[in-house]
Amino acid sequence: MGLRFQQLKKLWLLYLFLLFFAFFMFAISINLYVSSIQSYDAEPRHPKPPPKRRSLWPYKNIVAHYIGKGDIFGNMTADDYNINQFEPKQGEGADGRPVIVPPRDRFRMQRFFKLNSFNILASDRIPLNRTLKDYRTGECRDKRYANSLPNTSVIIVFHNEAWSVLLRTITSVINRSPRHLLREIILVDDASNRSFLKRQLEAYIQVLAVPTRLYRMKERSGLVPARLLGAQHARGDVLTFLDAHCECSRGWLEPLLARIGESREVVICPVIDIISDDNFSYTKTFENHWGAFNWQLSFRWFSSDRKRQTTANTKDSTAPIATPGMAGGLFAIDRKYFYEMGAYDSDMRIWGGENVEMSFRIWQCGGRIEISPCSHVGHIFRSSTPYTFPGGMSEVLTANLARAATVWMDDWQYFVMLYTAGLSLSARDKVNVTDRLALREKLQCKPFSWYLETIWPEHFFPAPDRFFGRIIWLDGETECTQAYSKHMKNLPGRALSREWKRAFEEIDHKAEEFMSLIDLERDKCLRPLHDNVPRSSLQPVTVGDCTSHAQTMDMFVITPKGQIMTNDNVCLTYRPPKQGALKLLRNRNATISNVMLTQCAIEPSQQWTYDMDTQQISHRETKLCLTLKSATNARNHKVEKVVLSMECNFKDITQKWGLIPLPWRM
């Protein structure tokens, strides 16, 4: 009897244990489920870290189609859309620290993310007046500005912005600007329909310490018309445009106004720091960077050793940095100068392309665009826009870009239209830019070639003295390779010159023939080993199918000095693998080579020569020739064709390369 009781007791314990175990497993699986969604969801949105020296900063233009995550979190209702859940917790997010949303709210956090494409639950926990650190360098902090700086109107356009994010932007402007420099804040509502942006907002701005006025667009018009409406009502000496999802940090305003006080022809931008869309942490970015555009006119950040400082004293780390392009969201400009220079192209719709137009226009018409390293403003970078895009996002964007290109880019407009997906030469016929061309005439603006040569000498666009086209492997099997080799063999005095210029001219003579002979399927083009790897990262090179026009993977620009460049400021580089490089490559299971595509820089590792006689491309310094070899991928043991540089051997068919031009201007 006693024994049985003991057994029962054991069973009972076992039963209890099993119960606990089941519960435990359940908890773990829920946790795993939530975190797996989170990491899947969060990864593509994470802004990339600030740029290191001489690295391309790969955070992209924030345009992408929003892809819903299905309805695992339930669909948004009108109530979800209109509810304002702002509930600040003392000290949350202080000093720009990240916010951790408590586990019980994680599901709601996921659910509401898509409403704004940022973590609204995190934002709603942070007080409007949260503290930020002082992100300036010591030199910037010590800098003293004149007493009589021009004053400014701050213009903020919003469309269905979240309450806490919009008001934190406004609060940071008020709290961190000297009162006498801030004349007014002008809000322009681009036809929002969230209910808290109506009366509730109107009541809120009545009591602010700085006069704040709100104007509303009658229908959704976009950034340009809304900013123009705001500017029209502004009375400050300077117009300062901000996005509606920013936080100004200490001392942000004085350096901007001081620079315009010095020279009214300067359009000046702050350094744009990163506010995480996920946890709202504020991350300072590298100060010595500048911006420009890629072949498709998407804005890109770059940084370089080349001194772009505006003063003669290049040691002055507080001096603004000249930049060929502006991101467009955040900048200050003298109000009268804004109108003298043609304000904005008011026919640009919704969003996108206006920063391209303004960058070209300001420079070509005699102004300057600069970034002040002393002014830091945080901005929430999102990976997609949560808002509607009347007219279709890519249609609107390409139409705007077509306007900018047609007015300002001269010969290069054809290049952009030929090699941008969604654009074509017929885009020119659809735009009416009569007024803008008249403006260009009136302001007597300089040609685009001047802009490239003078303002952006390190650019990677084609030019009259450069080669633009494909580099094919001369396997001797296709018509194109045979015609090319034959032509090179019959050149008089061909062996005398290894000048690229000479080669470009010879190839130009036969451009039509070579272009008509190339067979996109049979000819083999030099190109990156992997598709879809960020252009900024180190990547090996191979030969493969030549791509169609809208992709530019296999298109290169070669300069007379022997830089072999491609889109996004990427150059063919001789790079003997080091320990570090090996590690880097192992992560991406790529094959190791001593020839890589990487960030352009003026240095010997990126200088190549071409021998017309042997059709070899060799690295100038080491005299090693580009060679096509098979290599085994260390990780997946697949055999891949990789381009290496090796001892030259004029008989080796794997070292023969042809330059087949592509058209880029009319």
Ligand X SMILES: *[C@@H]1O[C@H](CO)[C@@H](O)[C@H](O)[C@H]1NC(C)=O
Binding of Mn ion at residue 329 (CB under 5 A)? yes
Binding of Mn ion at residue 352 (CB under 5 A)? no
Binding of ligand X at residue 276 (CB under 6 A)? yes
> At which residue do the structure tokens 């992100």 appear?
135
Q: How far is CA 149 from CA 144, 258, 311, in A?
A: 12, 6, 20
Please give the Cα distance from 601 to 540 (Å, whole number): 17
Residue 46 contact among ligand X, Mn ion, none, beta carbon within 5 to 8 Å by kind: ligand X
Q: Which residues contact 46 (CB under 8 A, 6 or more apart)?
A: 276, 278
Binding of ligand X at residue 346 (CB under 6 A)? no
**Nearest distance, CB of residue 225 and Mn ion, angstroms:** 17
Residue 329 contact among Mn ion, ligand X, none, beta carbon within 5 to 8 Å by kind: Mn ion
Please give the Cα distance from 547 to 553 (Å, whole number): 7
Q: How far is CA 525 from CA 23, 295, 528, 548, 633, in A?
A: 59, 19, 10, 12, 21
**Nearest distance, CB of residue 552 and ligand X, angstroms:** 20
The residue among 93 and 325 lying less far from ligand X, judged by its C-beta, is: 93
> At which residue do the structure tokens 């063999």 appear?
489
Sign of CA dihedral 412, 418, 424, 425: positive
How many CB atoms within 10 Å of residue 167?
19
Residue 636 contact among ligand X, Mn ion, none, beta carbon within 5 to 8 Å by kind: ligand X
Q: Is the CB of residue 119 less than 8 Å from the CB of residue 113? A: yes
Binding of ligand X at residue 388 (CB under 6 A)? yes
The residue among 237 and 247 lying less far from ligand X, judged by its C-beta, is: 237
Residue 131 contact among Mn ion, ligand X, none, beta carbon within 5 to 8 Å by kind: ligand X
The residue among 329 and 462 lying less far from Mn ion, judged by its C-beta, is: 329
Sheet holding 625-632, edge to edge: 608-611, 616-619, 625-632, 639-646
Binding of ligand X at residue 588 (CB under 6 A)? yes
Q: Is the CB of residue 612 less than 8 Å from the CB of residue 592? A: no
Binding of ligand X at residue 146 (CB under 6 A)? no
Q: Is the CB of residue 287 less than 8 Å from the CB of residue 135? A: no
Rounded to 10 deg, the angle between the 393-408 and 354-364 helix axes is 10
Binding of ligand X at residue 206 (CB under 6 A)? no
Size of the site for Mn ion (CB under 5 A): 2
Q: What is the DSSP code (8-state) at residue 634?
A: T
The footprint of Mn ion on residues 224-243 (CB under 5 A) is 243
Size of the site for ligand X (CB under 6 A): 29
Q: For residue 239, what are its two tokens? A: 């117009």
**Nearest distance, CB of residue 621 and ligand X, angstroms:** 30
- Among 65, 141, 180, 623, indicate the residue that binds ligand X (CB under 6 A): 180
Binding of ligand X at residue 24 (CB under 6 A)? no
Phi-psi region of 469 (alpha: psi -120 to 50; beta: other; left: phi over 0): left
What are the backbone angles phi and psi of residue 95, rounded to the nearest 5°? 55, 25
Half-sphere exposure of 332 (CA within 13 A, CB side): 30
- Among 46, 133, 284, 522, indicate the residue that binds ligand X (CB under 6 A): 46
Q: Which stretch binds ligand X (CB under 6 A): 25-33, 428-436, 464-472, 520-528?
A: 428-436
Element of type H or E holding 408: helix 393-408
Q: Which stretch binds ligand X (CB under 6 A): 28-36, 77-85, 313-321, 360-368?
A: 77-85
Binding of ligand X at residue 129 (CB under 6 A)? yes
Element of type H or E holding 155: strand 152-158
Binding of ligand X at residue 161 (CB under 6 A)? no
Q: Which stretch binds ligand X (CB under 6 A): 76-84, 359-367, 417-425, 591-599?
A: 76-84
Residue 143 contact among ligand X, Mn ion, none, beta carbon within 5 to 8 Å by kind: none
Q: What is the DSSP code (8-state) at residue 191?
A: S
Of 576, 529, 536, 575, which Cα lies nearest the Cα of 553?
A: 529
Residue 516 contact among ligand X, Mn ion, none, beta carbon within 5 to 8 Å by kind: none
* Buried residues in 468-492 as b, exposed as e (16+ CB within 10 A): bbbbbbbbeebebbebbeebbeebe
The residue among 243 and 370 lying less far from Mn ion, judged by its C-beta, is: 243
- Among 193, 200, 548, 630, indicate the residue that binds ligand X (CB under 6 A): 193
**Nearest distance, CB of residue 134 and Mn ion, angstroms:** 23
- Among 85, 279, 449, 622, indicate the residue that binds ligand X (CB under 6 A): 279
**Nearest distance, CB of residue 80 and Mn ion, angstroms:** 23
What are the backbone angles phi and psi of residue 427, rounded to the nearest 5°? -60, -30
Binding of ligand X at residue 281 (CB under 6 A)? yes
Binding of Mn ion at residue 277 (CB under 5 A)? no
Q: Which stretch binds Mn ion (CB under 5 A): 213-221, 306-314, 322-330, 469-477?
A: 322-330
Residues of the shown chain interacting with ligand X in the complex, contacts defined by CB under 6 A: 46, 71, 74-75, 78, 81-82, 98, 127, 129, 131, 150-151, 180, 183, 193, 237, 276, 278-279, 281, 388, 432, 434-435, 530, 588-589, 636
Residues of the shown chain interacting with Mn ion in the complex, contacts defined by CB under 5 A: 243, 329
